[in-house]
Amino acid sequence: MKTMKNVFLAVMILALLFIMGCASTTRTVERTSSDTVTDLSGNWNDTDSKLVAEQMIQDMTYRPWLQNYVMEMDKKPVLIVGTIRNFSSEHIQTATFIKDIERELINSGKVKFVASKQERDEIREERKEQQSYASDETAKRLAQESGADFVLQGGIKSNVDASGGKAAKF
């Protein structure tokens, strides 16, 4: 009986060690720079969004329309980023792409920029509340917003070119 208990105890200890050995796989997490390009699937990702926004705004701000506007109006144009629609077959976070475009517009220093409709609605609500709850010295006046001279809007399309079992997505 005592040897039976010892055998049972030994089997249980071995089984426990075996289970613990299987469960103790180590997982390492490697941090990368936010500038590192990570392309796992070939589908649209945050790197594509940043690069396209950067190139698009750089191209837009080096075109003659900007210099012509500044010379004629004697001021920087005020832009707003409107709706960007996804007409491609890929799942693209257009809100992220819009934020990348807005960031590039601000960083260009060549144009002024106004907030989106949703952001303006939130600001208007805050100003309305200030009329009742903030002191007269600190409350911001209503209807003193900057208007946009231009609205930047558009769509995202993709094209797949395939031949001989190979395909490229544009």
Tens-digit pLDDT profile for residues 29-40: 677 776 666 666
Most confidently predicted of 7-11, 37-41, 125-129 = 125-129
- Please name the residue ranges forming H helices in 24-116: 46-61, 64-73, 94-108
Max Cα–Cα distance, the chain, nearest Å: 103
Q: Is residue 60 very low, low, confident or very high in pLDDT (cuts 50, 70, 90)?
A: very high
The pLDDT of residue 10 is above 70: yes
* CA gap 122, 155 in Å, rounded: 26
Alpha carbon distances (Å) from 10 to 1, 17, 22, 127: 14, 11, 18, 74
Helices 46-61 + 94-108 axis angle, to 10:
40
78-95 residue pLDDT tens: 999 999 999 988 888 999
pTM of the model: 0.69
